[in-house]
C-alpha cells in the first residue's frame, strides 16, 4: 500500500479547545468553546454570565436616585455616558428639560469618557498583539483625562456624577484651561500611536481582513457603534436622533468599508479626534455662570455648621454658607440654577439648604427616605444615547411610586458578542484575540 493510500485511511478528528475564561485576552469573564481543525476554527460557542450583576433587578428594588452608582458599573470604562443615559430616560418620564449649562457639561463629560474608552480599547488590543509601547502611551493619555474627571466629579472611575435634573456640581474654577491642556496632550499621544500602529506591517497584517462581518449581518444582529460603522453604515445616535446639544456641534461620523478589525481600529482612532473637536466647541459655547462665591467672611466648614446647629447656636447661621469637601465643590446654591432644574420632586436641594434651613432639610429627607423619594408619573420611557460601543438605551416603567417598576438596559456590546461566532468561524485561532479585542466587550455592560 502506498503512503498516500495509507494517509487516506487515517482517521482525523477535530479538537475542542476552551479559550477563556482564564485566558488573559478574555478578561476572566467570557468563555469561547472552539472546534479546531489544526489552527482553523470550524465552529464556536460563546458562553457569558461570569460577571452577572443583576443590575436591572437591583434597580427595581432601589429608589430612582439610588440607581446612579449601579450605572457606573455597567460600562465602567465610560461611566459618565451610562449616568447620562439613565438620567435622560428618567427625565423623559418627568417631562423635564435640564438647563443649558447642564447640557453642555454632560456633553463635555460624556465625550471625555468616550475618549478614555477608545484609548483603553485600542491600547489593550494593541498590547494583546505585542504592541506594548502603544498601550503604555494610551494609558498615559487616559490618565490625563482621568485627572480632569477627578477634578469635576471627585472620582476617577465610579463617579456617580449625573443627577436627575442636572449634574452633581458645576465645573470647578480653572476647568477650561486644564481640560484644553489635557486634550492637547491626548491629541499628541493619539498622533504618536497612529504613527506607531496604522502603517505598521505586523499590526496591519494581524487586523486586515480578520473578524470580517457584512453590513447586512451587522444590521441583522442589531449591532451599532464603531462596529457597525466599520461596515459602511453611517449611523450614530448623536447624529440620527440628537439629544442634549449635539445638534449644535460640527463633527464627522467616521465610517469604514470592509467591516474588519482594521476598519474598526481606524474608526475608533478617528472618533477620538471628533470627540476632542466636540469638547473644544462645547467649551467655546457653554453658557457662563458664577464660578466663585461672593460671600467673603460668611463661609464656614459644613461640619462646623452642623455642630453649631446641634448645640442650638444658630444665631447668624442663616446668613452663612457651608463649605464642603472637594467632591461637593461647585455644588453650592449660587451656581445651582446654572446646572439644575428647579423641581423639588425630581432632585435633591443644594447642600447649603440641607445644612442651613429646615425647608431644605425636609426636602432632602423626603427625597431620600424609603417610601417617598423621586416619584415620576405613571408611564414608560426609552432613551438611547451613543455609548462608546454603540447605542446604549434605558427603558424605564414607572408605576408612580419611588421605585422603578421595570428597568431594562440595551447594552451595545451584548449583540456584538452574540455575533462573535460569525466573526471567528472559518478564521485562525490566532485571529480570535484581535477580533475579540475589537468587540471591546465590557463585562459589566454585557452581563449587567
pLDDT (tens digit per residue) in 247-300: 999 999 999 999 999 999 999 999 999 999 999 999 999 987 543 333 345 667
Q: Which three cell numbers stand for residue 247?
A: 445638534
The residue-averaged pLDDT of 155-159 equals 90
**Of 346-355, 389-398, 399-408, where does mean pLDDT reach its minimum?**
346-355
Q: Per-residue confidence at 215, pLDDT binned at 50, 70, 90?
A: very high
DSSP letters, 209-268, are TSS---HHHHHHHT--HHHHHTTT----HHHHS--TTGGGS-------SS-SHHHHHHHH
Residue 230: per-residue pLDDT: 95
Q: Please name the residues in contact with 103: beta carbons below 8 A apart, sequence gap of 6 or more.
A: 244, 245
Residue 319: per-residue pLDDT: 63
Residue 324: per-residue pLDDT: 60
Residue 290: per-residue pLDDT: 44
Q: Residue 303: pLDDT above 90?
A: no
353 or 75, which is more confident? 75
Burial pattern 306-345, b for ≥16 Cβ within 10 A else e, equals eebeeeeeeeebeebbbbbeebbbbbbbbbbebbbbebeb
Q: Which CATH class is domain 65-289?
A: mainly alpha
Q: CA-to-CA distance for 34 and 12, rounded, in angstroms?
A: 17
Q: CA-to-CA distance for 317 and 335, rounded, in angstroms?
A: 20
Check: CB of residue 271 under 8 Å from CB of residue 227: no
Q: Please name the residues in contact with 178: beta carbons below 8 A apart, sequence gap of 6 or more.
A: 147, 148, 151
> In angstroms, how far is the first alpha carbon of the chain from the final one?
61
Q: CA-to-CA distance for 199 and 330, rounded, in angstroms?
A: 45
Strand 391-398 relative to strand 162-163: parallel, antiparallel, unpaired?
A: unpaired
Helical axes 100-128 vs 79-94, angle rounded to 10°: 150
253 or 319, which is more confident? 253
pLDDT (tens digit per residue) in 22-71: 888 888 889 999 999 999 999 999 999 888 889 999 999 988 888 999 99
Question: Residue ranges of the domains in the chain?
Answer: 65-289, 299-368
Q: CA-to-CA distance for 366 and 58, rounded, in angstroms?
A: 22
Q: Please name the residues in contact with 412: beta carbons below 8 A apart, sequence gap of 6 or more.
A: 224, 225, 387, 389, 390, 391, 392, 445
**Mean pLDDT, the chain, whole residue set:** 88
The residue-averaged pLDDT of 317-340 equals 64
Residue 296: per-residue pLDDT: 44
Q: Residue 232: pLDDT above 80?
A: yes
Strand 321-323 relative to strand 299-301: parallel, antiparallel, unpaired?
A: parallel
Q: CA-to-CA distance for 77 and 118, rounded, in angstroms?
A: 9
Residue whose C-alpha cell is 439613565:
86
Q: CA-to-CA distance for 148 and 153, rounded, in angstroms?
A: 9
Residue 339: per-residue pLDDT: 79
Read off φ and ψ for residue 27, nearest 5 degrees: 60, 15
* 3-class secondary structure per residue, 183-214: HHHHHHHHHHHHHHHCCCHHHHHHHCCCCCCC
Read off φ and ψ for residue 307, nearest 5 degrees: -60, -40
pLDDT (tens digit per residue) in 92-106: 998 888 889 999 999
Q: Per-residue confidence at 340, pLDDT binned at 50, 70, 90?
A: confident
Check: CB of residue 120 under 8 Å from CB of residue 138: yes
Q: Residue 13: pLDDT above 60?
A: yes
Task: Return the sign of the alpha-carbon dihedral for residues 213, 215, 221, 225.
Answer: positive
CA 223 from centre of chain: 17
Residue 341: per-residue pLDDT: 78
The residue-averaged pLDDT of 405-422 equals 94
DSSP secondary structure code for residue 52 in this structure = -
Q: CA-to-CA distance for 235 and 224, rounded, in angstroms?
A: 7
**Of 60-64, 110-114, 212-216, 394-398, where does mean pLDDT reach its minimum?**
60-64
Would you call 393 helix, strand, or coil by DSSP?
Answer: strand
Q: Residue 329: pLDDT above 60?
A: no
Amino acid at each position: 500500500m502506498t503512503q498516500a493510500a495509507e494517509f487516506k485511511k487515517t482517521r482525523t478528528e477535530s479538537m475542542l479547545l476552551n479559550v477563556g475564561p482564564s485566558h488573559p485576552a478574555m478578561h476572566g469573564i467570557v468563555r469561547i468553546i472552539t472546534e479546531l481543525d489544526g489552527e482553523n476554527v470550524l465552529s464556536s460557542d460563546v458562553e457569558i454570565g461570569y460577571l452577572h450583576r443583576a443590575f436591572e433587578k437591583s434597580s427595581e428594588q432601589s429608589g430612582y436616585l439610588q440607581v446612579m452608582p449601579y450605572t457606573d458599573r455597567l460600562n465602567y470604562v465610560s461611566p459618565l455616558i451610562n449616568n447620562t443615559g439613565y438620567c435622560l430616560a428618567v427625565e423623559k418620564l418627568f417631562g423635564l428639560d435640564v438647563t443649558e449649562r447642564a447640557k453642555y457639561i454632560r456633553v463635555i463629560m460624556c465625550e471625555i469618557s468616550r475618549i478614555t474608552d477608545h484609548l483603553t480599547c485600542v491600547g489593550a488590543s494593541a498590547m494583546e498583539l505585542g504592541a506594548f509601547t502603544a498601550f503604555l502611551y494610551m494609558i498615559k493619555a487616559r490618565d490625563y483625562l482621568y485627572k480632569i474627571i477627578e477634578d469635576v466629579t471627585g472620582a476617577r472611575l465610579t463617579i456617580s456624577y449625573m443627577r436627575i435634573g442636572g449634574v452633581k456640581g458645576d465645573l470647578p474654577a480653572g476647568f477650561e484651561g486644564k481640560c484644553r491642556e489635557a486634550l492637547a496632550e491626548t491629541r499628541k499621544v493619539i498622533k504618536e500611536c497612529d504613527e506607531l500602529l496604522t502603517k505598521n506591517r505586523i499590526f496591519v497584517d494581524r487586523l486586515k481582513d480578520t473578524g470580517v462581518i457584512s453590513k447586512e449581518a451587522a444590521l441583522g444582529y442589531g449591532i451599532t457603534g464603531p462596529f457597525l460603522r466599520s461596515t459602511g453604515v453611517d449611523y450614530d445616535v448623536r447624529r440620527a436622533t440628537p439629544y442634549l446639544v449635539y445638534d449644535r456641534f460640527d463633527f464627522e461620523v467616521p465610517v469604514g468599508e470592509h467591516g474588519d478589525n482594521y476598519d474598526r481600529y481606524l474608526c475608533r482612532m478617528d472618533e477620538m479626534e471628533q470627540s476632542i473637536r466636540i469638547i473644544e466647541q462645547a467649551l467655546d459655547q457653554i453658557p457662563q455662570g458664577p464660578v466663585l462665591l461672593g460671600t467673603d467672611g460668611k463661609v464656614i466648614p459644613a461640619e462646623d455648621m452642623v455642630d453649631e446647629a446641634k448645640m442650638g447656636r444658630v444665631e447668624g447661621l442663616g446668613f452663612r454658607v457651608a463649605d464642603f469637601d472637594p467632591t461637593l465643590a461647585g455644588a453650592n446654591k449660587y451656581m445651582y440654577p446654572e446646572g439644575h432644574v428647579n423641581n423639588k420632586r425630581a432632585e435633591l436641594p443644594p447642600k447649603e439648604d440641607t445644612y442651613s434651613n429646615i425647608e431644605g432639610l425636609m426636602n432632602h429627607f423626603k427625597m431620600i427616605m424609603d417610601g417617598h423619594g423621586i416619584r415620576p408619573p405613571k408611564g414608560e420611557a426609552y432613551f438611547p444615547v451613543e455609548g462608546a460601543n454603540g447605542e446604549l438605551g434605558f427603558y424605564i416603567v414607572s408605576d408612580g411610586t419611588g421605585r422603578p417598576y421595570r428597568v431594562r438596559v440595551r447594552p451595545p456590546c451584548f449583540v456584538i458578542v452574540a455575533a462573535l461566532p460569525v466573526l471567528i468561524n472559518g478564521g485562525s485561532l490566532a485571529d480570535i484575540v484581535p477580533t475579540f479585542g475589537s468587540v471591546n466587550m465590557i463585562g459589566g455592560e454585557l452581563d449587567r
